[in-house]
A and B are shown apart, each in its own frame.
Chain A
Amino acid sequence: MSSGAEPATGGGAVPGGRPPGAGSAPGGLASSSPLLGRAAEPTIFEMSVPGRSAWSLRTTGLPEWELEELVPLEHRRRSATGLPEVSERDLVAHFTRLSQRQYSVDTGAYPLGSCTMKYNPKLFDHLAALPGFADAHPASPTAALQGFLALLVRLEEMLCEITGMAAATLQPPAGAAGELTGLLMMRAWHGRDAGDGRGRVRRRVLIPDSAHGTNPASVSLAGYEATTVASDSRGLLDVASLREHLDDDVAGIMLTNPNTLGLFEEDIVEIASAVHDAGALLYYDGANLNPVLGVARPGDMGFDIVHLNLHKTFATPHGGGGPGAGPVAVTAELAPYLPAPRPVRTGEGGRYGYGFAGSEASIGRAHSWHGNALVLQRALAYIMFNGGDGLRRVAEAAVLNASWLSRRLRASYDIPYGRPSMHEFVASAASLKRSCGLSATDVAKALLERGFHAPTVHFPLIVDEALMIEPTETESPQTLDALARAFEDVAREALSDGAASARSAPRSTPVGRVDETRAARRLVLTVDQRPGTTSGAPGGRAAGGG
């Protein structure tokens, strides 16, 4: 609460901190929460005690120049940093307890549609920590980085073989970043030669109504207008209606194949030729690449630009929301536009086997350095472990699991598009909602109560009360059966109690249903914004504004 405090203090007297007892110093809230149940975990700031610390740093033997001798007065920080002051033991206890309030793939099945929450092998965590990788400075001279460069070049070649493309950039750090990178290449290609030397940037990009939200957002950021194309009654893109949208102002179309309904775009060959005839390009959103590994390749389907989500298909852990990696692979014609610099094999006579190359037509850099290198490294290890046969087995088991679960759940839930689906399928709670009031959200929360993560709900937007289910290939038949029983139990119970139990679920999780409306209406985005907190955040001018 003392905004003018000494920089070395500040974490302790955090507004909102509760003393453990009358007369105690503020902060220092000790906690040993019950393992399960509804006890709240205090924030780290409430555990803070002025003067307590965990840190230790190297003894350097250097002259102990004071701050005043190192930083001129006008450049010195005037306010406290407000970081918490805790012991290492309390720090470890706090974050360990937080981790126990978190569901994960390592905890159990995670059938979140379009997210491909497969098992993340421990081998790759081990490999990512090897000092030759984890301690490599990104601006090291190429002479010092031959191992890493070899790894990146090898990964690029393998991703090209898997997708049927000619060249790839590994720079984009996530799928959405890959989308924007790919669309900027589309833009550059049209602007420069468009295949016939008569370049003209086009204005529109077509997107099916079943697409991920990142697609239209990326289209806007690339300077295009998004035009939505409706799916037909099959849940697929209809060639005839696509043709109506195609004209010489359409730059391209973004497709996910199989699409977000889990359905393969069966007319893809006709779609590709119609798009190419119009002078436009096909962009492949790789979110759903898992079920076609070794089965079919985007390049053979006619796609020109392909992004991959290594944190989905190639088993790199999602980290609670990232990091990911979103490499973009392209045809030979588009290769000159790839972001630079690119890791390459150097020619005969070079001193080293690997180096970097640029291209005059490149759209430029897409990342501070070389992409999320340690994510890329894990993906390469995954491909090495599986080999071509293993990847095909991944696709088979992913489709087998989803198909089995879809067939099993047909008796309890609507499956609106009856065609055979691939790695995921979309069920609907619409009938159950009409008959007993059970919504998709209720199904999700009732599954949490039964110890499973929920599917993706209310997406894709074209299905009412959508439940998008992707079991992935790493769940055993026994786990699938247990998951199916949980789904069936939710529906059965709702029909018997008018969904009362589901609507009050979950009850056994660390917290019950969370009030999202309150969160948005009374914004508390930091500890300092809690109601009753004065504006004296240790950050100085923060609360008072600039």
Chain B
Amino acid sequence: MGSYVPHTDAEIGQMLSFLGMGSTEELFSMVPDAVRLARPLRLPAGQSEPDVRHDMEGLSRADLASRGLVCFAGAGAYDHEIAAVTPALSGRSEFLTAYTPYQAEVSQGVLQALFEFQTMVARLSGMEVANASLYDGASATVEAANLACAVTGRQGLWVSDGVHPHWRAVLGTMAQGPGRAIGRAPLRGGVTDWAGLGGAGSAGAPAALIVAYPNFLGCLDDLGSARKLADDLGALLVVVFDPVAAAITTSPGEAGADVAVAEGQGISARLSYGGPYLGLFATKMAHVRRSPGRIVGETLDVSGTTSYVTTLRAREQDIRRERASSNVCTNQTLLAVAAAVQLSWLGPGGLRQMALASARGARYARESLLRIDGVTSPVSAPVLKEAPFRLPAEPEVVIERLLEDGYLAGVAVREGFEGEEAEGCLLVAVTEKRTRDEIDGFVAAFEKALR
């Protein structure tokens, strides 16, 4: 069968004889017999390229996404437009198959693209500086918490229930190591109620308040009171933002955030079953030396030409080792390059239109859904492209029925998406890709499903 190993048998023989060996088995003489695998791996036999393609296409056809479901699901993963130029440029071999830009002289392409990406993320978030990416929104939130703990010397975190439940779960997992205590602030009417704080971390002043805007239920939370409370407590304010919504809503910087983090999927990647996505991380210059991951800086080469290089390297794990505040090495550079292309294609006008058109579609869908008998809203706060609905039926049943009509109706707020206030609701998202006809068809199917 096929192989990506280029050597002919004759070449292998010549190389072995150069090494004074008679067989490839001798290459492994250092491996003790006790741990040598005495049998072949129990894997299916190798397949040709067309056979692998045939099997993979078969698996892909088992997923309904291959049949073009009209997507009304969001919950942190949005069906926004990705321009044709975005994969075409970020997918170029030179970006796709490079390693981390350790050798700056032959890595100016990736480095400059990252410098431009950092500028775009800093401007969009209204912060002073951004890093060159983290894994996803959840990991960016964890790193923001780590930074806040390092800055304040405190171990507690107060986290709004409006932060994505999966991200809060990841935060909880990663808190087990350093033994961080997390206080949980519920939502009331779609807005964080800091006075209702509960949980182990609610005692004592926290390192940071973490609030999402828009939050998991799609609501525009009250950043002003979060900033004031953080000031009173001497804590940092971490704002989780949406890079599309930020075109028209208060930026984290305008709200006085100390750290801004986001899931950047909507400006870089198709839905991709949840990964690879893109963690955005931006902060103030005062915190740059405690920031995680790679940061690209502009400098000069020996002849005075503008050049780019990874900088503040002494923060990073390969130099600081056990004293590093982050272990991030591989990140999501390719997605950062894609975001730089996509944001350049959109420009200020396109991003604004994307945010506006999403909000228009969401409002139209919301008004239509709320006209259906028994469908109500559990929130009163302003919403943008996403909102929860309480239905006169189980949301899972509605989702399953609408699948048959070709719609992915939304995400059930349940089982891993717990949030007391909207428990059992259906979270519906509308992006600029949804037309009036699609929404009308969706609402009609919805009504039928509830009958």
Contact = CB atoms under 8 A, between A and B. Distances in A.
Is A bound to B? yes
Nearest to B88: A92
B248 A53 contact: no
B400 to A, nearest CB: 6
A335 B311 CA distance: 40
A300 interface: yes
6 contacts: A363-B176, A364-B176, A393-B5, A454-B103, A506-B106, A545-B128
Contacts of A195: none
Contacts of B344: 44, 54, 83-84, 86, 91, 94
B98 A103 contact: yes
Contact of B110 (A78, A225, A320): A320
A412 B414 CA distance: 65
Nearest to A403: B19
B348 A8 contact: yes
Nearest to A309: B330
Contacts of A527: 115-116, 119
A72 B380 CA distance: 13
Nearest to B286: A545
Contact of A145 (B132, B138, B273, B337): B273
Contact of A511 (B119, B301, B350, B435): B301
Interface string A505-546: 010011111111011101111111110000001111111011
A321 B331 contact: yes
A127 B265 CA distance: 20
Contact of A75 (B31, B65, B250): B250
B128 A543 contact: yes
Contact of A321 (B29, B101, B247): B101
Interface string B373-401: 00000000010100000000000100110
A368 interface: yes
Interface string B106-142: 1111101101101110111111111011011111000
B284 interface: yes
B400 A88 contact: no
A444 B103 contact: yes
B62 A520 contact: no
A537 B167 CA distance: 31
A187 B179 CA distance: 12
A542 B61 contact: no
Given A385-B49, A537-B123, A147 B61 contact: yes
Interface string B44-60: 11111100110111111
A61 B441 CA distance: 14
A88 B273 contact: no
Interface stretch (B200-208, B356-364, B442-450): B356-364
Most A CB atoms within 10 A — which of B68, B71, B130, B166? B166
Given A77-B254, A173-B139, A371-B275, A323 B330 contact: yes
Most B CB atoms within 10 A — which of A53, A119, A293, A311? A53
A144 B69 contact: yes
A319 B81 contact: no
A87 B316 CA distance: 37
A383 B124 CA distance: 41
A180 to B, nearest CB: 6
Contact of B63 (A145, A268, A407): A145
Contact of B118 (A454, A477, A526, A540): A526
Contact of B94 (A91, A99, A145): A99
A381 B52 contact: yes
Nearest to A48: B347
B288 A523 contact: yes
Interface string B34-51: 111100111111111100
Given A102-B106, A120-B96, A175-B330, A161 B128 contact: no
Given A44-B116, A526-B130, A541 B2 contact: no
Interface residues of B, number: 221
A61 B348 CA distance: 22
B153 interface: no
A311 B317 CA distance: 19
A513 B302 CA distance: 6
A481 B146 CA distance: 48
B349 A53 contact: yes
A384 B47 contact: yes
Interface string B334-346: 1101001101111
A387 B1 contact: yes
A20 interface: no
Contacts of B64: 140, 143-145
Contacts of A264: 30-31
Q: Across chains A and B, which 6 residue pairs bring their CB atoms closest together, nearest first?
A: A369-B274, A319-B334, A55-B350, A132-B60, A102-B109, A387-B46
A102 B107 contact: yes
B92 interface: yes
Given A60-B361, A81-B246, 15 more contacts: A52-B347, A123-B49, A123-B53, A147-B58, A173-B276, A175-B330, A300-B35, A321-B100, A369-B166, A369-B274, A369-B275, A390-B1, A513-B302, A515-B299, A539-B124
Nearest to B47: A384
Interface in B284-343: 284-286, 288, 294-303, 305-309, 311-313, 316-324, 326-335, 337, 340-341, 343
Interface in A210-268: 212-214, 216-226, 263-264, 266, 268
Given A8-B348, A130-B57, A269-B32, A391 B18 contact: no
Contacts of B359: 65, 70-71
Interface string A266-285: 10110000000000000000
Contacts of B138: 365, 367-368
Interface string B65-107: 1101101010111010101010111111111111111111111
A322 interface: yes
A4 B416 CA distance: 43
A536 B205 CA distance: 35
B364 A63 contact: yes
B52 A513 contact: no
A99 B348 CA distance: 24
Interface string A337-361: 0010100000000000000000000
B89 A96 contact: yes
A176 to B, nearest CB: 4
A110 to B, nearest CB: 7
A378 to B, nearest CB: 10
Interface in A126-164: 126-127, 129-141, 143-148, 150-151, 158, 161-162
B63 to A, nearest CB: 4
Contacts of B352: 7-8, 81
A515 B301 contact: yes
A253 B106 CA distance: 37
A33 to B, nearest CB: 11
B7 A107 contact: no
Interface string A41-83: 1011100000011110111111111010011101111111111
B327 A218 contact: yes
Contacts of B317: 176, 213-214, 216-217
A308 B178 CA distance: 24
A28 interface: no
B332 to A, nearest CB: 5
A395 to B, nearest CB: 8
Given A64-B360, A389-B40, A396-B24, A54 B347 contact: yes
A292 B31 contact: yes
B173 A366 contact: yes
B185 interface: no
A435 interface: no
